[in-house]
Structures are given as structure tokens and as C-alpha cells.
Amino acid sequence: MSTQTSRPRVWVSRPLFDDILDRLREYFDIEVEERDRDWTREQMAQKLRDKAGAILGVADPVDAGVIAQTPLLRAIANRGVGYNNLDIAALKKAGIVATNTPGVLDETTADFAWALMLATARRVTEAERFLRAGQWQGMSFHILLGGDVYGKTLGIFGMGRIGQAIARRAAGFRMPVIYHNRSRLDVATEVDCKAEYVGREELLARADFLVLALPMTAQTRHAIGAAELASMKRDAYLINIARGGVVDDAALIAALKEKRIAGAGLDVFEREPIVPADMLALDNVVLTPHIGSASLATRRAMASLAVDNLIAALGCGPNAGRPPNII
């Protein structure tokens, strides 16, 4: 008579690619959500109570209160680079491994930052709305005049992997690059990116395009507020592909309404998926629904890396006990 050993249970909080999830099924019993949704902390605790591991989206909250109700939990694989949804200190204290998916989305997200820069300066989404509404009556010399990108100064706030990928693309537009970071890059990286390190105040004052690529932390919350927006040029553009809380939405709305900056391109918002009605009413802002890494190849790579991380963190597979991306 044989006894069957129960396998660890794993929760996948949002839909993923079935062929990639099949790799999890080799080792675990998995529960996969069939649709995207936002989870409260109470719901997270309920879902994780009998699970050894989970693959989570970057908006799925895990804090000390959730952890206290999940005695079997051993590992979390965040499906994304950011992890401000996780209380890392509480996870470490509980002995729970946390991982993320850096590297695989850098180039795609950098591409999207440039898409937002071009769309914002050249009023692309505004122009499409104008055309679709039947307002275009023929060629006009003064129609929808925008700003140039070529030759302008690109400022990057947050010069990690994504910031560096954005900087390297600037050469094709003959744009001087300045940046500010918590710590200055080494000389070889600055040369590779053709980027000049400057102080925060100089960055704000000189940039024609200010791209935010910094992580969301307690220290970076509202890093761009009323005072910072007032320090920018009146013909400058703000581009945010980082996290919504890095910008004070109310202050940005006021600055855009009063034309204190020329425009903004935003892929992230403070209270996602809620976008303030006052922001939706503005013409001088391009708005996208957090799709910076949303190419098929990149999202598959992110899912695959999250699966690799979780399998290893739970002691299975060729990298058992050695997940490649521990936070």
C-alpha cells in the first residue's frame, strides 16, 4: 500500500500564459485566477492562508498583517520589477523569500518612455481625438502645433537599468542627457550613456523632457510636487513611467491647467486604476494604463522569470534553493 504525499500549493493572483504555468504544475498544485482584479489585504490573507508560494502582481499587497495569517507561506514571486506592494522587512522577519523580475523589461519600458515623449510633445493622442471627432477640415498651417524632441535636453530622474536604457536612445535624437540619482554612476556607465550627473535642482531647471524612472519608496513619494514643477521650464514636459506616487497628482493637474509646464505623459497614477476626472479633462497630457512593459515577448519573459524564481525559492528545479532574483 502506497501513500501519496501532498504537493505544496501555489496561488497565481492574476492570469498568466498557460504554457508557462505548466512548468509550475510539474511541482505544485496551483490555483490560478481567471481575471485581473484588485485584492484587499483581507482577501490576500484568505487566498494565501494554505499556500506555500504565490506569484503576485505589483499591486497585490502583502504586509505584516497578511503575513501573520499565512503560516505555510515560504515564497513570493512578484511579477514585475517594483515591489512597493510588499513589506520586505516583515517578509524577511518571517523567513519568506521574495523575488522580482528585473532586467527582462528594461528595453521595452525604455521604448515606451520614448513613445510617451514623442506622443506628448507632438500632441499625437490629442490629434487623433481631433480627427476621429470629425473636426479636421483640411490642412492648416497652425493646426496642433507641438514641441520638438530632437536636440532638446533629456533629464532622467532615476538612473537604474531602465533610466540607462532611456539615455542610450537619446543619441539618435542628438539630445544631451543629464541625470540625477541617489548615487552617481561610475565613469564607464556615464560614458556609455553619454550622460552628465547633476544635482536635483539643476535637473529640474535644465531638462526639456524630465523622465521619471525611480523606484517608489517612502523617500521618493511625491518627489515631484508643486515646488518641483514650479522649478521646471514652462515649455518642459514631464514623463512618468515609474510609479504613480512619485508624482503629486493634484499638483501636476494644477500645473497643467495653468500651463506652468507644456505637458505630461503618464503611464502610472497615484490611485490606479482611478485617474482623477480633472486630469482626464486636460488636453495637454497623454494618459496610458500602466503598459510600459506591455509587449508580448516582454510579458512572457516576466512571467517565465517569476515562475523560475518561485520554483527555485520553494526548493525545486535545477536552481533549487537559489532563486535568481531575491529582493
The residues that are catalytic are 243, 272, 290
Exposed e or buried b per residue across 226-252, where buried means at least 16 C-beta atoms within 10 angstroms of its C-beta:
eebbeebbeebbbbbbbbbbbbbbebb
Backbone φ and ψ for 225, nearest 5 degrees, come out as -125, -160
Q: What is the arrangement of strands in the sheet containing 9-12, beginning at the earlier edge strand?
A: 29-32, 9-12, 53-56, 75-78, 97-99
Helices (H), the chain: 18-25, 41-48, 64-67, 88-93, 106-121, 124-132, 161-169, 187-193, 200-206, 226-231, 249-257, 277-280, 296-313
Q: What is the arrangement of strands in the sheet containing 154-157, beginning at the earlier edge strand?
A: 195-197, 177-180, 154-157, 209-212, 237-240, 263-266, 285-287
